[in-house]
């Protein structure tokens, strides 16, 4: 909701000096550390089965890739690209009767293609604020599994491609000789859960308790981008 309000606000304020790269196609690179937060429904999940407590906790992950931005007029640009995203999780299993506790980690690797519309407002001579809203296509190349002596884990993907809503807000510092630098935040909300993670606790390799987690794939990131400067095209 905060990002949508920011988008409407910038549309309203664009007449105060908004600026975009008119008739410029700009290429860049980005790095996106992933933040886990209970506030954004990206925190840990806890399931109790008998005397066994299963906890699935998102850990800090990251994404990186290339970005392409096309300026259409003085208020609007389109941004797309392709990103590699690594989402890390920690699974802990505790047995109350024996005080046993086991901890393991696993990773989802996902490829993303965002399609975002951007609007701008100029804050200073070389400083701009922008916000964006659009779709992000998540490509899941496979299911995932992990195991140890005391558990089995299998995450089954909901689909091989899952669309998501994505919004971001950030700031740019532009130098017309050395390119543009961007710092911002993104919120990513898939339309459906990415996977269902099934976890089975075992004693002496025999099944004891089983639980399931719905993994939504929602995340918040810090966005760091660099765009190479390109001259405006002429018509």
- Average pLDDT on 178-203 reads 94
Alpha helices in the chain (DSSP H): 2-13
pLDDT band at 124 (very low <50, low <70, confident <90, very high): confident
- Average pLDDT on 42-48 reads 85
Q: Is the pLDDT of residue 3 over 50?
A: no
Strands (E), 96-190: 100-122, 127-139, 144-148, 151-157, 161-175, 179-190
Of residues 230, 209, 214, the one with CA closest to residue 48: 209
Q: Is the pLDDT of residue 189 over 80?
A: yes
Of residues 77, 185, 178, the one with CA closest to residue 126: 178
Q: Report long-range pairs for 37-45 (Cβ below 8 Å, ≥24 apart).
A: 37/220, 40/187, 40/218, 40/219, 40/220, 41/216, 41/218, 42/216, 42/218, 42/219, 42/220, 45/213
The pLDDT > 70 percentage for the chain reads 85
Q: Is the pLDDT of residue 13 over 80?
A: no
* pLDDT recorded at residue 7: 44
Q: What share of the chain is helix, strand, coil (3-state, %, to 5)?
A: 10, 65, 25
Q: Which residues pair with 140 in a beta bridge?
A: none
For residue 37, give the 3-state DSSP assignment: coil
Q: Which residues pair with 210 in a beta bridge?
A: 200
Give this prediction's pTM. 0.81
* pLDDT recorded at residue 177: 79
* pLDDT recorded at residue 204: 84
Whether 200 contacts 212, CB under 8 Å:
no
Q: Is the pLDDT of residue 84 over 70?
A: yes
Whether 155 contacts 107, CB under 8 Å:
no
- Average pLDDT on 217-234 reads 81
**Better pLDDT: 14 or 179:** 179
**Better pLDDT: 39 or 205:** 205
* pLDDT recorded at residue 138: 97
* pLDDT recorded at residue 42: 63
Rounding to the nearest 10 degrees, give the CA dihedral for residues 113, 18, 34, 69. Answer: 30
pLDDT in tens, 159-186: 999 999 999 999 999 887 788 999 999 9
Can you count the helices (H) and strands (E) in the chain?
1, 14
Q: What is the mean pLDDT of the chain?
A: 86
Domains of the chain in start order, with CATH, are 2-227 (2.40.160.20)
- Average pLDDT on 214-222 reads 91
């Amino acid at each position: 909701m905060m990002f949508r309000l920011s988008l409407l606000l910038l549309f309203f304020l664009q007449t105060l000096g908004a600026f975009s790269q008119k008739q410029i196609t700009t290429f860049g690179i980005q790095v996106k550390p992933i933040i886990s937060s209970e506030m954004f429904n990206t925190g840990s999940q806890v399931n109790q089965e008998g005397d066994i407590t299963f906890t699935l906790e998102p850990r800090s992950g990251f994404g990186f890739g290339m970005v392409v931005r096309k300026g259409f007029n003085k208020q609007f640009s389109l941004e797309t690209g392709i990103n590699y995203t690594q989402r890390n999780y920690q699974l802990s299993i505790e047995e109350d009767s024996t005080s046993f506790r086991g901890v393991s980690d696993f990773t989802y690797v996902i490829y993303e293609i965002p399609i975002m519309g951007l609007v701008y407002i100029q804050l200073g001579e070389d400083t701009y604020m922008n916000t964006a809203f659009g779709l992000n296509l998540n490509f899941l190349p496979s299911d995932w599994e992990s195991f140890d002596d005391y558990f089995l884990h299998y995450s089954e993907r909901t689909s091989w491609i899952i669309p998501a809503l994505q919004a971001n807000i950030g700031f740019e510092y532009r130098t017309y000789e050395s390119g543009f630098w961007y710092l911002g935040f993104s919120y990513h909300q898939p339309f459906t859960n990415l996977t269902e993670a099934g976890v089975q606790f075992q004693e002496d390799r025999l099944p004891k308790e089983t639980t399931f987690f719905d993994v939504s794939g929602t995340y918040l990131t810090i966005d760091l981008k660099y765009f190479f400067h390109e001259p405006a095209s002429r018509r």
